[in-house]
Structure 1
């Protein structure tokens, strides 16, 4: 009788173990499925991070969006390249293309979202006519934004660039006429606001960064006119996941009416303009 009891107990334990293992498997599968529906998007600074959060509020079920905030202009691309996030939203296509070239990357631009209205700010001059010969000019240290800054200056006839060089690739070495004898200082994009505070006479900057010290685009000495949205900020993914259901759902959320309305409100104060069509039209 005792042996039978022991045998039954052993069977019961075996069944319990099998049952527990099955539950663990189910739990593991559920966790994996839930993880597949969470879309990680790297970004930094408003209004970029705000847009990621709005997209997360409106994205279609079963998906959700997790904002992964970074602190510089390197991490969001490295994270995407290394599959640590699924997408990022912090850059324009020329900057992404430069990254791909330097890192043999496979990032792809999916959709223009908004065009930040960049320009030059001055703690010294009140108008473009006040600019003096020999003035120092602070421009971004990365190649794409350096070219952008120089193209703006050329548009205002402050200098002349070599017409045989691709405008999106020009550097200070491609200046063929510098009538004001400008001296150029290359500064990391995130530190250009500090250059303004330090008294550099002409400083290129984005509204996102210059807003930190209370300046608006209306305070700029002169602004860019980018009708083609060449430098509009884009939703970026990888070649291997760009057509996946989750990225397509993310793209739909980023171009939703809610995101457009938010951008439209910001456009009224001159910071930016939406770079996709109003879904209501």
Structure 2
């Protein structure tokens, strides 16, 4: 009986030891595995990942696959489902609205330099040269429409109701329009083409770049609130992960800013970069 008890005890210890070794191996394997996927919409932010972020991640031992998306829906769906580990394509306002509407819990890690909206024209050479009754194409969605009106106010072309919520202003909040500008709301993706058919067009930076427009050709570029600058986002469950910390460290680095200055001319930098 004592011999049987000893055998059972030894077996239990052996099994416990094996289980411990397997757990340690799995833990070591989990820590060693740095295969990740990052998502972005095709264009400047995919380029920003590949030129300014991915090389630094690879130096830290990550193996990175960049996934390009053609719309603004799938990058967050993929992030929420765990198909990708982080994404870069959206500003804070869009992220927060998307979370609410789709019952997701995502987290913005850090704001990055972003292509600003600009006022473009083939009719006028300067803001001062804009004539009475000029037609201006603006985005027909509320978020980008508000951005266009804020640019016009910054340039002295309209005045907006000071009581209106800044990020939600619309045409009905225009209190003064001294040049009697005529607003023509259209879908944001069509605004680069509208430069040909209207006197002025307020074109979001990503659509301007997609149409091979030079940001510096704009008559004026927006003084973009940080809420409209794009962010690196992860799922809320991963905001304290090693990857999240590494992404923040990379974006805050001098090397990252140097790539922005060289490769992304005209992009507006977030407030933290000026500190």
TM-score greater than 0.5 by the shorter chain: yes
Equivalence for 1:150: 149
Q: Secondary structure at the match of 1:133?
A: coil
Cα displacement string for residues 123-178 of structure 1 (whole angstroms, at most 9, x for unaligned residues): 22222233233333222233222211111111122122121111011122222233
CA contact (8 A) 2:127 2:155 kept: no
> What TM-score do the two structures reach when normalised by structure 1?
0.75
CA contact (8 A) 2:120 2:203 kept: yes
Distance 2:207 2:230 in 1: 15
Distance 1:184 1:245 in 2: 48
Q: Secondary structure at the match of 1:115?
A: coil
Structure 1 residues 185 and 36, CA gap change in structure 2 (3 angstroms): farther
Equivalence for 1:19: none
Equivalence for 1:224: 222
Q: Secondary structure at the match of 2:87?
A: strand
Equivalence for 1:16: none
Distance 1:76 1:109 in 2: 14
> What TM-score do the two structures reach when normalised by structure 2?
0.77
Residue pairs, 1:30-49, within 5 angstroms: 33=30, 37-49=34-46
Distance 1:69 1:102 in 2: 23
RMSD over aligned Cα, in angstroms? 3.0
Equivalence for 2:83: 84
Cα deviation for residue 61 of structure 1 reads: 4.1
Structure 1 residues 78 and 139, CA gap change in structure 2 (3 angstroms): farther
Distance 1:108 1:143 in 2: 23
Q: Secondary structure at the match of 1:184?
A: strand
Cα deviation for residue 34 of structure 1 reads: 9.6
The ranges of structure 1 where at least 4 consecutive aligned residues each deviate by more than 6 angstroms after the TM superposition are none
CA contact (8 A) 1:266 1:272 kept: no
Q: Secondary structure at the match of 1:258?
A: helix
Structure 1 residues 190 and 83, CA gap change in structure 2 (3 angstroms): farther
Cα deviation for residue 121 of structure 1 reads: 0.4
CA contact (8 A) 1:115 1:229 kept: no
The alignment covers a number of residue pairs equal to: 247
Structure 1 residues 196 and 82, CA gap change in structure 2 (3 angstroms): farther
Specify every segment of 5 or more residues in structure 1 that has no aligned partner in the other structure, as ranges.
Answer: 1-24
CA contact (8 A) 1:121 1:204 kept: yes
Are positions 1:249 and 2:246 aligned together? yes
Equivalence for 1:4: none
Cα deviation for residue 74 of structure 1 reads: 2.8
Equivalence for 2:93: 94
Equivalence for 1:132: 131
Structure 1 residues 82 and 126, CA gap change in structure 2 (3 angstroms): same
Cα displacement string for residues 219-261 of structure 1 (whole angstroms, at most 9, x for unaligned residues): 21222224x6343221112212211222222333333343221
CA contact (8 A) 1:121 1:202 kept: yes
CA contact (8 A) 1:141 1:186 kept: yes
Cα deviation for residue 50 of structure 1 reads: 2.0
